[in-house]
Amino acid sequence: MIKVEHLTKRFGDVLVLRDINTEIRKGEVVSIIGPSGTGKSTFLRCLNLLDTPSSGNISIDGVNVLEKGANIPKVRQKMNMVFQSFNLFAHLTVLDNLTISPIKLLGVDKKSAETKALELLRLVGLAEKASSFPDELSGGQKQRVAIARCLAMDPEVILFDEPTSALDPTMVSEVLAVIRRLARNGMTMAIVTHEMDFARDVSNRVFYMDEGLIYEEGTPQQVFENPQKAKTRAFIHRIRSITRHITSGDFDLYALNAEIEHFCEKQFLSRSACHNLLLLVEEVLQLYLPHIEKSAADLSIDYSEKTGKLELVVDTDVNTGNPLAHEGDDIELQLSLIRGFSESIDYQVVNNRGRLSVAVRKV
């Protein structure tokens, strides 16, 4: 239904969309997730031509909408958009908000426009508010009116740009429920959202946007349960992390400790978690010293806001073998310290590179 090829968009010198290629099929629900500033809104705005793409092709039902002479109002009607900030007409009643565009732009007569508007208000649960003004509604109600108004234009596709971001948390679910209902009715939709659970259960496909691209895409299961790329993974698991490249045994441990403490404070980690982490870093690096002398190591601290897991990860260019699995009395004390301050220890070899992950005990 919608085909996008090599879409780019630049604002001045800044290339916001680098190369977007995708197709959205009839009846599909696509969720678009990703960090802010990665061009998600710009992508939707380019789709319905609120922003003019810098290059590339967009076709709807086989018709190239970027060609000169394309009917832009028609495109916007086919791909109607719901915004974060509702954008209702404040001086019009709810009913008039729904009827004004069909009457003025589609030439629908007043009576049929009103009949349809009432039907749509019923669909979003707001028939009794038909003669209210937007000011008299809660945020959740306003957004439901905005959705009904969008539907009044008989769109083939609805583009939602963070429809619940401006809402009180208590009102999020009433709006999501309406969008779920549209999904069940077979509406084609592209939804930019930060509501991960919603994205997961409402969509057929998920796009993770980053670096001006659809950086990774797949079914909700693929993207949420088994993301393939590191950036996607970090975003999904809400991982905050610091990484330091260590090339010699003479690295500045005090500076590293200070950075780690700062990181812990920023993530609101408890004092004991931070204390355990610092000890683990020191002991683990001690065991890695012979390897670091030969080849470098990357030390990362990963903290998942989602799961609360705090991990110390050491990546090496070569398979060092698990330094914590060596036998010998000389390191027995160190090993028992490390075991005491950690919850689990895992060593994996991937493509001949070694990765030690130590989950830090947080109490």
Binding site for ligand ADP (CB under 6 A): 11, 16, 36-42
| Span from 34-42, 106-114, 167-175, 260-268 in contact with Mg ion (CB under 5 A) | 34-42
Q: Smallest distance, Å, CB 188 to ligand ADP?
A: 21
Place of tokens 């109002």: 73
Is the distance from CB of 20 to CB of 194 less than 8 angstroms?
no
Q: Is 51 or 261 the residue whose CB approaches ligand ADP more closely? A: 51
Q: Which of 246, 229, 240, 327 is nearest to 294 (CA)?
A: 246
Q: 188 pairs with which residues across the strands?
A: 157
The residue within the footprint of Mg ion, chosen from 31, 41, 193, 316 (CB under 5 A), is: 41
Q: Is 161 or 283 the residue whose CB approaches Mg ion more closely? A: 161
| Gap between the Cα atoms of 291 and 316, Å rounded | 9
Q: Is 39 or 220 the residue whose CB approaches ligand ADP more closely? A: 39
Q: Is 41 or 342 the residue whose CB approaches Mg ion more closely? A: 41
Q: Smallest distance, Å, CB 275 to Mg ion?
A: 40
Q: Smallest distance, Å, CB 21 to ligand ADP?
A: 18
Q: Smallest distance, Å, CB 12 to ligand ADP?
A: 7
304 in contact with Mg ion (CB under 5 A): no
DSSP 133-187: -GGGS-HHHHHHHHHHHHHHT--SEEEEESTTTTS-GGGHHHHHHHHHHHHHTT-
Q: Which of 56, 48, 64, 46 is nearest to 6 (CA)?
A: 56
Q: Is 36 or 352 the residue whose CB approaches ligand ADP more closely? A: 36
Q: Smallest distance, Å, CB 209 to ligand ADP?
A: 7
Q: Is 209 or 239 the residue whose CB approaches Mg ion more closely? A: 209
Q: Which of 136, 140, 149, 139 is nearest to 96 (CA)?
A: 149
Place of tokens 């003025």: 104
38 in contact with Mg ion (CB under 5 A): no
Residue 143 sits at φ, ψ, to 5 deg, of -70, -35
31 in contact with Mg ion (CB under 5 A): no
Give me the residues that bind Mg ion (CB under 5 A), please: 41
